[in-house]
Amino acid sequence: MEGVKGLESDLEAMRQYFRSGKTKDAAWRQSQLKGLLLFIKENEKHIFNALKKDLGKHHVEAYRDEVGTVTKSINFALHGLKEWMSSKKAKLPRVALLSSAELVPEPLGFVLIISSWNFPFGLSLEPLIGAIAAGNTAVLKPSELAPASASLLANVLPTYLDNKAVKVLQGGPAVGERLLQQKWDKIFFTGSARVGRIIMSAAVNHLTPTVLELGGKSPAVVDSLSSSWDRQVTVNRILVSKFGACAGQACIAIDYILVEKRFASTLVELMKVMIKKMFGENPRETNTIARIVNQQHFLRLKNLLKDPAVQNSIVYGGSLDEKNLFIDPTILVDPPLDAAIMTEEIFGPLLPIITLDNVEDSIAFINSKPKPLAIYAFIKNEKLKRRMLSETSSGSLVFNDAVIQYAADSLPFGGIGESGVGKYHGKFSFDTFSHYKAVARRSFLTDFWYRFPPWNDYKLLL
Ligand code: NAD
């Protein structure tokens, strides 16, 4: 698809291709998934280069979060496809004697995927795996803010796929808005709540079902752990998931930490030591932390630190290199709760720690905010774990680790409330792009006379 010229006729051709039934074949779906796999395999180096160019991601991090994760997901879909496509038996009520019923998954049709820049391959290809596995035709619009990645997806990916069924279209909000005017059978969006609202209002016109994978402020609760091993494990897992995954520019990154006052300084001291061990004395030079995506986002993060009360709360890091779009891992203790850093999603390498009198108070704190995409709770106390599970609501809840839920094929990935609508990953991706048609079959033999008029009260008793 060249730019957006001839957009309408290109899209109409894709709708017709879907109607031809070609994409419903199991063999077609398999061949497309294999094409995706080959794209990743043969272009691994180009993917690493694009991620370096767009985000300064280290290739090991890029492998873990994008190449490796997507490869695993494609293999999972290839393995499960036949089973997923099969119909599932269901039961009809006794009144429908001599009958059978089933749920038959069918593709939705022609779908739109709009993705974000922070994991430009993962967030584009994970939903595409689901769309293809379910037998849909799809248009993918990656984010314009990761241009090297978007260009690789637009120029190289199609050579591995059936071009009549999958198109990649580059562009920013204007292209996105133009696409939203079209009629889709589903819109799958990853991005901000602000644009999520635009997507949802556009979808109203055609009653298009939408998935919104959004973000927000995901908290981590850290209990006053007594064992030095547990403390160390906690700190390692917090740091790698915050600073070692796109420099905190991840929807499920820990946004802030809640900890008891008496444990806060111990936690901070351990973090200071481990940041140096993990990322080096000067992370800017070691290239182990990604950089901020662009100047606009850099200035947004800089502004979060501008408030003098926020500045005073910095206990580690805080240096910013605008030329290289690099921000040191930064820890803050008790910035004002009404400062932007505590009211807006941070999406960067700034980590506020909020101190509480009791770790139990974290539940009320979390519940006073919109439902987050994830809650992380580093706690051993089983009673508190049970309370956290039953008294809070979030897209996911992880005890004693962070971010690992993203890689699980067996868990649905998605938000709730302000953090999103709908879910995917593993078979959930297939389900997201499928309609389960209810099919009932009856024999012409036998019937119950009380089912039919003329009505009388005796029939009511039966
Ligand atoms: P964004 O909403 O600015 O952009 C996302 C996509 O929408 C891009 O492709 C962009 O070109 C497109 N877009 C922008 N304006 C549009 C418009 N008016 N009409 C149609 N399309 C439009 O978000 P972003 O900066 O790419 O990502 C940051 C946000 O995304 C954060 O809030 C983050 O938490 C969230 N996010 C969520 C997930 C998740 O899986 N839940 C993953 C990554 C990012």
Mutate to test the pocket of ligand 1, among 169, 181, 192 (most ligand atoms within 8 A of CB): 192
Selected residue with higher pLDDT from 60 and 1: 60
Distance between CA 184 and CA 191 in Å, rounded? 19
Distance between CA 321 and CA 328 in Å, rounded? 8
Q: What is the tens place of the pLDDT at every residue in 152-190?
A: 999 999 999 999 999 999 999 999 999 999 999 999 999
Is the minimum distance from the CB of 191 to ligand 1 under 6 angstroms?
A: yes
Mutate to test the pocket of ligand 1, among 55, 66, 116, 242 (most ligand atoms within 8 A of CB): 116
Is the minimum distance from the CB of 396 to ligand 1 under 6 angstroms?
A: no
Amino acid at 190: T
Residue 171 CA to ligand 1 centre (angstroms): 13
Distance between CA 362 and CA 368 in Å, rounded? 10
Element (H, E) at 295: helix 295-304
Atom 17 in ligand 1: residue holding the nearest Cα? 173
Is the minimum distance from the CB of 143 to ligand 1 under 6 angstroms?
A: yes
Backbone angles phi, psi at 132, to 5 degrees: -70, -45
Among 235, 221, 213, smallest CA distance to 389 is for: 221
Q: What is the tens place of the pLDDT at every residue in 360-417?
A: 999 999 999 999 999 999 999 999 999 999 999 999 999 999 999 999 999 999 999 9
Instruction: State the pLDDT confidence band at 281, using cuts at 50, 70 and 90.
Output: confident
Atom 12 in ligand 1: residue holding the nearest Cα? 173
User: What is the CB neighbour count within 10 angstroms for residue 318?
Assistant: 17
Atom 21 in ligand 1: residue holding the nearest Cα? 176
Q: What is the tens place of the pLDDT at every residue in 140-160?
A: 999 999 999 999 999 999 999
Distance, C-alpha 398 to centroid of its chain: 15
Q: What is the pLDDT of residue 284?
A: 84
Q: Is the ipTM of this complex over 0.90?
A: yes
Q: What is the tens place of the pLDDT at every residue in 62-101?
A: 999 999 999 999 999 999 999 999 999 999 988 888 999 9
Q: What is the pLDDT of residue 2?
A: 44
Q: Please spell the DSSP secondary structure of 332-355, one letter per residue.
A: EES--TTSHHHHS---SSEEEEEE
Model confidence at 1: pLDDT above 60: no
Residue 232 CA to ligand 1 centre (angstroms): 34
Atom 34 in ligand 1: residue holding the nearest Cα? 215
Residue 290 CA to ligand 1 centre (angstroms): 19
The CB-side HSE value for 301 (13 A sphere, CA atoms) comes to 30
Provide the annotated active-site residues.
213, 251
Q: Which of 25-39, 275-289, 447-461 has the highest mean pLDDT?
A: 25-39
Q: What is the tens place of the pLDDT at every residue in 313-326?
A: 999 999 999 999 99
Please state whether the predicted TM-score (pTM) of the whole model is above 0.90: yes
Model confidence at 5: pLDDT above 80: no
Distance between CA 99 and CA 114 in Å, rounded? 43
Atom 35 in ligand 1: residue holding the nearest Cα? 191
Residue 291 CA to ligand 1 centre (angstroms): 18
Burial of 279: CB neighbours in 10 Å, binned 0-12, 13-18, 19+: buried
Atom of ligand 1 nearest to the CA of 119: 43
